[in-house]
Amino acid sequence: MFKFPVVHAHCDIPCKIYDPAISQVAALSIVRLMDLIAELGDQHDNTRAAQLARLVAQKEVHAAQVKHDVTTIWGDYFKQPQIERFPEIHRVTHAIMQAASKCKQGIARDDSLLLLEQLNSFSEMFWHSKDIATQRVIAPYPPALEVVHPILTSV
């Protein structure tokens, strides 16, 4: 029906549309979910079991989102020029993958805090690779933790 000779694409998403903010929100969500799990306490009833199952399932979804988004940015955006400027990007990305897996495996809040800090480092490298300054701000929603954002200028 269509006779396209060859089609080439080099990005999974539209070129230049990358932003680690989605991963940061997912990491904040993981921290919040772990807090909610801890708030359930040791009660043993059907309501707690249902709540725990739902919270754990959501934690899994958000950890998978972090891994997907970070590997997409790392694999599609970080090319030789960016890697030369930020040679630690491979180590940081690998550490994020391990931390996200650890968050999936357990419910230790410290694991989710480490994941968020690694994502903040990743975000700083990402934005600085574009020569965009960043700032650390407190997220305006629970768990109200520090995240890295680009300093945007008006046009």
Encode pLDDT of 98-124 as tens digits: 999 999 999 999 999 999 999 999 999
pLDDT confidence band for 141 (50 / 70 / 90) = very high
Structural class in CATH, domain 21-150:
mainly alpha
pLDDT digits (tens, 9 = 90+) for 46-67: 889 999 999 999 999 999 999 9
The partner residues of 136 in beta bridges, in order of sequence, read: 148
pLDDT value at position 123?
Answer: 98
Name the residue ranges covered by the structural domains of the chain. Answer: 21-150
Euclidean distance between CA atoms 152 and 155, whole angstroms: 9
Does pTM surpass 0.95? no
Tell me what pLDDT residue 154 has. Answer: 82
Cβ atoms of residues 119 and 31 within 8 Å: no
**Contact (CB, 8 A) for 74 and 93:** yes
